[in-house]
Chain A
Amino acid sequence: MTEIAERLYYGFFYLPTGIYALIVSVLVALCSSLLGVTLVLKRFSFIGDGLSHVAFGAMAVAAVVGLTNQMFIAMPVTIICAVLLLKAGGRAKIRGDASVALISVGALAVGYLLMNLFPSSASGSISADVCSTLFGSYALVTLTGAEVWLCVVLSVVAITLFILFYNKIFAVTFDENFAVATGIKANLYNLITAILIAVVIVLAMRLVGSLLISALIIFPAISAMRVFKTFKSVTLCSAILSVICTAFGVLLSVVIDTPVGPTIVCVDIIVFFAFWLIGSLKGGKAK
């Protein structure tokens, strides 16, 4: 017991970076779970996956160009792709799922190629670079004060927008035709959703890496939907689950010395099975 406490203290709470990492993780988890509910219900789960690969490609380009803060390239590129993908979803010549696959695989390949052609001078090892971009860094992310503030501000903006537009997001997600027919600007809310998703993905990239972002977005929503049946309760449960799982995952990774991203995702998976079990027991009783 004391050993765990010591590990947590020296590996984590001793330095401000540990606290920063925890704050950022929790905020990112909160944002992604809120959006996850809408994405899952709109059958857009795969868009998160596609966009995270786009972010990977953009990060690679930023690294090659030698930008210190890679977010400045990754953020706009991902936002543009998110908007294009959500627009294409309905009526494009190339079907929505196919265009996501095209863009995501394309970005992944180009990103990896660039990293090989122009190895960054800092780390020297390409596979380490790629690995940490895909699966998140092995140790806790070391963030500077400015990065933490950027994350905090963007997360707070995302959460505020979600709360302000909660009722509109519900209506557009539940029945877009009805919303449009009664004069709701569904396209505007779809656009806001797309931008929020892109922002969350770029933020989450540092935490869990681009391959595992989808897990952060989808697992809490799916778990919550096993047990809860109203939009409000699913949203709340998803947010709470995501925050708890992520915080627990971060601390656990320090104690048992595992990579942060996959640890969080494993906690999410375990919780999913627990909720799935509760859901089927509950459903069985009702019948």
Chain B
Amino acid sequence: MALLTCKNLSVGYDGVAVASGISFSLFSGDYLAVIGENGAGKTTVMKTVLGLIKQISGEIETGDGLKRNEIGYLPQQTAVQRDFPASVWEVVLSGRLSKIGLRPFYDKEEKRLAEDMLEELNIAHLKKRPYHELSGGQQQRVLLARALLATRKVLLLDEPVAGLDPIVTTEMYETIENLNKKGTSVIMITHDIAAAKKYANKILYIGANVFFGSKEEFIKSSDGKIFGSAGRNKK
């Protein structure tokens, strides 16, 4: 059974659709890349899946024991304020917040989990640093740690490598690939077609047409050719 299924989804703001006719399903262990031009509505679709905005029509179903609020989320970098006073520790720990319910503070177990997560993502040495003084790649790792503390089932990444230099980009992709191999299902919004083809097993293309299928099917399809060549021309 699929973890997440969207059927004929239409999304947008105030009743005006940005993207429609979107259907896809995510199974345990999948690595789904969501691609499409700027303004095609990729982020809007994902915000709808997360429950931040309501869909105009269509259905979103979760299965296999997944709850709607068990999708970890790595926002686009601009979503977080530049000069916000917060230490890495405070940010990472806040991933655990939904688990503490009505309790006002974190207990030892939650702090231990957060410590382990810092170790796992190699950012333990940054624990006390202010978040906004970190480099782009370090900030992404911190947000990744926060998302993983919230849930390890499904991780939704919105342009995780935007603005990162090539070396850090590769490291980020490797980290995500490792997480996927350990059993976390991944949905990644990206502009990077090459990375989508390299790492993902399924592709959702949002544009004039909507395509959903395996990576191999995508490469054969016309959208794949058009988008693939457009991507190459830009570079």
Interface set of A (CB-CB < 8 Å, partner B): 41, 163-168, 170-171, 174-175, 177-184, 225, 228-234
Also in contact, A170 and B73, with CB within 8 A (given A163-B104, A175-B79, A182-B95): no
CB neighbours of B50 from chain A (8 A): 177, 180-181
Q: Are A182 and B90 interface neighbours, CB within 8 A?
A: no
- Could you tell me the distance between the alpha carbons of A75 and B53 in the complex, rounded to whole angstroms? 33
CB neighbours of B91 from chain A (8 A): 174
Q: Are A232 and B90 interface neighbours, CB within 8 A?
A: yes
Also in contact, A230 and B90, with CB within 8 A (given A171-B97, A184-B98): yes
Shortest Cβ-Cβ A-B pairs, 9 listed? A183-B69, A229-B130, A230-B87, A181-B50, A182-B98, A171-B94, A234-B85, A181-B73, A164-B104
Also in contact, A230 and B86, with CB within 8 A (given A175-B75, A181-B71): yes
Does any Cβ of A come within 8 Å of B215's Cβ? no
- Could you tell me the distance between the alpha carbons of A165 and B132 in the complex, rounded to whole angstroms? 24
Interface centre among A164, A167, A234 (most CB of B within 10 A): A167
Tell me how far the C-beta of A276 lies from the nearest C-beta in chain B, rounded to whole angstroms: 14
- Could you tell me the distance between the alpha carbons of A180 and B50 in the complex, rounded to whole angstroms? 8
Q: Are A174 and B84 interface neighbours, CB within 8 A?
A: yes
Does any Cβ of A come within 8 Å of B202's Cβ? no
- Could you tell me the distance between the alpha carbons of A97 and B133 in the complex, rounded to whole angstroms? 30
Q: How many residues of B contact A (CB 8 A)?
A: 38
Interface centre among A168, A174, A182, A184 (most CB of B within 10 A): A182
CB neighbours of A175 from chain B (8 A): 75, 79-80, 94
Also in contact, A231 and B98, with CB within 8 A (given A177-B79, A178-B73): no
Nearest to A163 among chain B residues (CB) is B104
- Could you tell me the distance between the alpha carbons of A171 and B94 in the complex, rounded to whole angstroms? 6
Q: Are B81 and A182 interface neighbours, CB within 8 A?
A: no
Q: Are B150 and A182 interface neighbours, CB within 8 A?
A: yes
Tell me how far the C-beta of A252 lies from the nearest C-beta in chain B, rounded to whole angstroms: 29
Tell me how far the C-beta of A101 lies from the nearest C-beta in chain B, rounded to whole angstroms: 23
Q: Are B151 and A182 interface neighbours, CB within 8 A?
A: yes
Which B residues, 83 to 139, have Cβ-Cβ distances below 8 Å to chain A?
83-87, 90-91, 93-95, 97-98, 100, 104-106, 128, 130, 132-133
Query: Among the listed B73, B84, B150, which residue makes an inter-chain contact with A177, where contact means beta carbons less than 8 Å apart?
Result: B73
Nearest to B87 among chain A residues (CB) is A230
A-B contact count (CB 8 A): 91
Query: Among the listed A164, A168, A183, A231, which residue makes an inter-chain contact with B85, where contact means beta carbons less than 8 Å apart?
Result: A231
CB neighbours of A178 from chain B (8 A): 73, 75, 94, 146-147
Also in contact, A177 and B75, with CB within 8 A (given A170-B86, A170-B90, A182-B98): yes
Q: Are B69 and A166 interface neighbours, CB within 8 A?
A: no
- Could you tell me the distance between the alpha carbons of A233 and B104 in the complex, rounded to whole angstroms? 18
- Could you tell me the distance between the alpha carbons of A167 and B115 in the complex, rounded to whole angstroms? 17
- Contact flags (1/0) for B58-92 with A, using CB distance below 8 Å? 00000000011101110100011101111100110
CB neighbours of B95 from chain A (8 A): 182
CB neighbours of B163 from chain A (8 A): none
Q: Are B90 and A231 interface neighbours, CB within 8 A?
A: yes
CB neighbours of A167 from chain B (8 A): 93-94, 97, 100, 104-106
Q: Are A179 and B97 interface neighbours, CB within 8 A?
A: yes
Q: Are B94 and A181 interface neighbours, CB within 8 A?
A: no
CB neighbours of B67 from chain A (8 A): 183
Query: Among the listed B86, B105, B130, which residue makes an inter-chain contact with A174, where contact means beta carbons less than 8 Å apart?
Result: B86
Does any Cβ of A come within 8 Å of B52's Cβ? yes
Does any Cβ of A come within 8 Å of B51's Cβ? yes
Tell me how far the C-beta of A186 lies from the nearest C-beta in chain B, rounded to whole angstroms: 10
- Could you tell me the distance between the alpha carbons of A34 and B69 in the complex, rounded to whole angstroms? 30
Interface centre among B69, B100, B106 (most CB of A within 10 A): B69
Which B residues, 18 to 70, have Cβ-Cβ distances below 8 Å to chain A?
47, 50-52, 67-69
- Could you tell me the distance between the alpha carbons of A177 and B90 in the complex, rounded to whole angstroms? 17
Q: Are B150 and A165 interface neighbours, CB within 8 A?
A: no
Nearest to A235 among chain B residues (CB) is B85
Query: Among the listed A170, A181, A183, A229, which residue makes an inter-chain contact with B133, where contact means beta carbons less than 8 Å apart?
Result: A229
CB neighbours of B104 from chain A (8 A): 163-167
Tell me how far the C-beta of B6 lies from the nearest C-beta in chain A, rounded to whole angstroms: 16
Nearest to B74 among chain A residues (CB) is A178
Tell me how far the C-beta of B234 lies from the nearest C-beta in chain A, rounded to whole angstroms: 29
CB neighbours of B94 from chain A (8 A): 167, 170-171, 174-175, 178-179
- Could you tell me the distance between the alpha carbons of A81 and B2 in the complex, rounded to whole angstroms? 46
